[in-house]
Every structure is written in structure tokens, then in C-alpha cells.
Amino acid sequence: MNTLEAKTRKKDSDPGMVPAVLYGPGLENILLQVDKKSFDKVFKEAGETLISLKVGDKTYSVLIYDTQKHPFTAELVHVDFYQPNLKEEVETEVPLEIEGEAPAVKALGGTLITNVKELNIKALPKDLPSKIKVNVGGLETFDDFILVKDIKLPQGVIILDNPEEIVVQVVEPEKIEEELAAPVEEKLPEVEAKEETKEEEEGEEKK
């Protein structure tokens, strides 16, 4: 489990530190500040999995529940740490990591299409994975694909998404080009179409 140190915050954060808050069931909100570089490193490795947050002489098992960034600079401006009930399952999103090489890409010149980039899962906090790997080595033809239900999960993890949804597949180059080259059909607005129909009906009545 990754470990991150934090300091209690009174008002403004110190230079190089990001304001944060720690909360959870049976826990009063604690205002904190964390070193930006240290946080970035832990967040990159752990994602939304459980981490150890050290505050003084106390250690909390927490999730990085939310991060807020500046709308213009994209700089991290605030972090929410949540201490869950370790005996209750939580729901979260976990990114997928494609690994391996699809034979249909290498041998047939196809294009690998990833339709799902993250999965909604449920698990106990201790069982939450930082990412789920999907091996595409079995995609040998353009008819092969990997469904949500085909993904191998760590023990204790349940997927909440549609099991029949296609996660990744290899598409023929011609089909990709056809989709890009296909002209966009222009349709008359519904109001205009109704007006034209009305005019035609009036013309028929006069005849």
C-alpha cells in the first residue's frame, strides 16, 4: 500500500503544498495540506485504491476520493481524502490498460479500437485495483473481440458495466476509411418538412 504524509492546515497552505480535507464515517473533517510532488507520485501509482495517509502520529487508510484543478492552468488546487468503512464495498471507476499485441494488427494491418477505457467496479477497499489489464494477444482476425465479461478480474472485484459490451476489437483499414469518408446527410428541419407536406396536400385538394 502506498504511503503519503500530510500536515494539518490552519488557514492558507504553505508554498508547494496543496490544501486537502480528510473525512469519512465517524470522522470529523480534518483540514490538511500535502506536498504536490509527493501526491502526484502516489496518485499516479495508486489511482483510486487504498493508501496510507500519515498525519502526525496517526495513520489513516483512505481513498483519494476527488481532485480539483484550476480551470485555466490545470494546476491541482484541492484534494479530498475519504476514509471508508473497510468492511463495506465501495463503487468506483478503474482505468483499463491494454497489453500485448493483436495479431490482426501486425499480420493483417488492422486498427485496434478501444471502446471502453475504464470500468465501473465494486469491491472492498482493500481489494480495489489501481488498473485492470486487458491482453489483446488473442485478437487474430477482424471477427475477434473482447467483451466486458471476458476480462479477468482480481479476486473480490465485481464489474457493474454491461457484460456484453465490446471493450476492444480490431477493425479493417477499409472500414475506418469508409467511415471517415462517408458524407454527412443533411436533413430538413422537422418544421420545414411539415410545411412542405402541408403545401402538397393543399395543392392536391385544389386539383
User: Would you state the cell numbers that stand for residue 110, as one nine-digit string?
Assistant: 488492422
pLDDT over 70, % of the chain: 83
Residue type, 70: H
Strand partners, 119: 94
Indicate whether this model's pTM tops 0.85. no
Give 3-state DSSP helix, strand, coil % of the chain, rounded to 5.
25, 40, 35
User: Hey, what domains does the chain have and what are their CATH numbers?
Assistant: 3-82 (2.40.240.10), 90-178 (2.170.120.20)
Q: Is 167 left (phi over 0), alpha (psi -120 to 50) or beta?
A: alpha
Strand partners, 142: none
pLDDT for 177: 57
Q: What is the pLDDT of residue 179?
A: 55
In whole angstroms, what is the distance from residue 5 CA to residue 54 CA?
Answer: 5
Q: What does pLDDT average to over the chain?
A: 85
Q: Are 138 and 167 in contact (CB under 8 A)?
A: no
**CA triplet 155, 156, 160: central angle to 5 degrees?**
115
pLDDT cut 90: percent of the chain above it = 59
Q: What is the DSSP letter of 32?
A: E
Summarize pLDDT for 137-166 with one digit per residue, the tens. 999 999 999 999 999 999 999 999 999 999
Query: Given this model, what pLDDT does residue 178 score?
Result: 60
The torsion angles phi and psi of 170, rounded to 5 degrees, stand at -115, 130
pLDDT tens for 17-66 read 899 999 999 888 999 999 999 999 999 888 888 999 999 999 999 999 89
